[in-house]
Amino acid sequence: MNSSTASPVTRLITLATLTLATAFGAPAIPTAGVPTPQATPLSAWTMAPTRVVWTSPAGAIHAANLLGPKSGQALLKNPVAPCVLAPAVKGAPGGGILLDFGTELTGNVELITPIVKDKEPPLVRIRFGESVAEAMAELGGDANAQNDHALRDQTVRLPWLGKTTIGPSGFRFVRIDNVDPTLPVHLSEVHAVLLIRDVPQVGAFRCDDERLNRIWQVGAYTVHLNMQEYLWDGVKRDRLVWIGDMHPEVATINAVFGFNDVVPRSLDLTRDVTPPTEWMNGISSYSMWWVLIHEQWWLHHGNRPYLAAQQAYLRPLLTKLAGLIDPDGRERIDGMRFLDWPSSPNQQGVTAGLQGLLVLTLESGARLMSVLGDADVARLCTDAATRGRKIVPDVNASKSGAALLALAGLRDAQETADTVLKVGGPNGISTFYGYYVLQALAKAGATDTALDFISRYWGAMLDLGATTFWEDFDFAWTENAARIDELVPAGKKDVHGGYGAYCYIGFRHSLCHGWASGPTAWLSENVLGITPLEPGFTRVRIVPQLGRLHWAEGAYPTPLGPIKVRHERQSDGTVKSKIDAPAGITVVRN
């Protein structure tokens, strides 16, 4: 065995057995057949609670001693008195405490216990919450608190002088209750363990509007939390790979982190479990998004061998998709006809959006197959897309459907913006398809409207205490709503447990959903104005759209290094740009 190529654990096993054999004359333990451990891409970061939100009437003595950084180790002698939660005597509730870790996290919580006289392990209940209200909730009921995907409500026993890990889940708040009928609970330390890929933010964005700066960063963080072993949609619920939902997430990864293997791993995982005769995730549009993500990835990173590895799957998939355009040009998509949940009641709007999405996909497929030298399938896609352009369905006021038609060039972008997208302001957009509404507004030159939508719609979540962006959001929820980082006062509405729809009613609603990160990608792509024109960013267009902004600056990752820009509006209204592009990149300014 060549120890230089073996896994670290296998090398340690080999070294240990050889050492034993040398020392005692015993035969070495064979290493053949020892399973090779799978390396995890995640790093662990310890985070202390930032505040005590609540203590129960039974009390939590020395609760404030849990705040601030600690050693993370059980100690024979603690520098401060432990927090003590009273037992649940005679059916009365025991002591309880609610801790705030300051920001949304994904990972575990660790409880460290000190030396106490009684070594019997006490029983505690742990509840995670993305909001204060969720951490305080009982399972089920109208508010619909659940343990889907990750156990966020469980009862465990704590050891004497030790550490207990509970999780993983997605959370910001943790409630700890003593449910033991006889024993107090002593806690010398409670901390969260953030599990996340330790990758730098190469991309950056700043402008003269601090609210937009915060939104860009929160979108980046939302996706970063979801970059686990695979690219998830949510860290509490929907810890799954949803291909359609990945499209805005991948756009954000491209703009913030550049290449990361979480994207191809997730694309390939879904491809390998979905025959091309079936739809990815059981949704027809999601197989289309798989094609569009591959072109997006190809343009940004230019990895031809990886693209070539998709050809065997692309060929039958694109052939099937081309066959869904009738001779008259109308789409006949079967299976689950879906854009996103808020669009679902407007079936005419969904039909319009699917027509645009299918044309976009076929044109993307034609370009990809041309690159791969498959002229027959490329021609099949082009012919089908040409037929599809004959039909422009009514959008029935659907902003999502109208945006896709405008992006596909089936409707005039300016007319679509004026008659559909701008009507009612950001009402009627969603956290997922809002990204495509923003893109359509940019295509129409309506930058100020897009900036207003971002500030008002995504910014409203921040105003309610969000540190990541949500699965869904509706302006109607803000009326008389309490912040998510406070106990719901009498007379106020619970914006988390009291709303939601479809599969995300009440507390099942994810408050950290990667598909909601669209403004981050949009601001980098449109305000900074950076668009790859050739694979691997060898040729790039840089045309800023400042709108009402006076200046904007930032960086955009490429395989050749980050492009750095600063755009400033001059007194005569023109924009002066300073561009620092790595060698090997040709910049086009129009």
pLDDT tens for 428-466 read 999 999 999 999 999 999 999 999 999 999 999 999 999
Q: Reduced to 3 states, what is the DSSP secondary structure of residue 217?
A: helix
First to last CA, the chain: 57
Q: Locate 402 and state its tokens.
A: 């109208």
Does pLDDT of 23 surpass 70?
no
Q: What is the spatial distance between Cα 24 and Cα 11, in angstroms, rounded to a whole number?
A: 20
Burial of 511-543, coded b for 16+ CB within 10 Å and e otherwise, reads: bbbbbbbbbbbbbbbbbbbbebeebbbeebebe
Which of the 8 DSSP states describes residue 138? P
| Band of residue 12 on the pLDDT scale cut at 50, 70, 90 | very low
pLDDT, mean of residues 416-439: 98
- Whether the model clears a pTM of 0.85, i.e. scores above it, the answer is yes
Q: What is the spatial distance between Cα 237 and Cα 147, in angstroms, rounded to a whole number?
A: 9
Q: Which class would CATH give 44-197?
A: mainly beta
pLDDT at 96: 98
- The long-range contacts involving 532-536, CB below 8 angstroms and separated by at least 24 positions, are 532/299, 532/300, 532/558, 533/588, 534/299, 534/302, 535/298, 535/299, 535/301, 535/302, 535/304, 535/371, 536/300, 536/301, 536/302, 536/303, 536/560
Which of the 8 DSSP states describes residue 120? S
Q: Concatenate the DSSP letters of all residues of 256-289 into one string.
A: HT---THHHHHHHHHHHTS-TTS-GGGBHHHHHH
**HSE-CB for 108 with a 13 A CA cutoff:** 13
| Band of residue 91 on the pLDDT scale cut at 50, 70, 90 | confident
pLDDT at 90: 84
Domain boundaries, the chain: 8-39, 44-197, 274-411
pLDDT at 32: 55
| Band of residue 26 on the pLDDT scale cut at 50, 70, 90 | very low
Q: What is the spatial distance between Cα 442 and Cα 432, in angstroms, rounded to a whole number?
A: 17
pLDDT at 511: 98
Does pLDDT of 114 surpass 60?
yes
Q: Locate 205 and state its tokens.
A: 């964005």
Residues 151-198 have pLDDT tens digits of: 999 999 999 999 999 999 999 999 999 999 999 999 999 999 999 999
Does pLDDT of 492 surpass 80?
yes
Q: What is the spatial distance between Cα 549 and Cα 567, in angstroms, rounded to a whole number?
A: 10
Query: Are β-strands 163-178 and 123-129 bridged in parallel, bridged antiparallel, or unpaired?
Result: antiparallel
34/505: higher pLDDT: 505
Q: What is the spatial distance between Cα 369 and Cα 70, in angstroms, rounded to a whole number?
A: 56
pLDDT, mean of residues 84-96: 93
% of the chain exceeding 90 in pLDDT = 92
Sheet of 185-187, strand order:
60-61, 83-85, 185-187
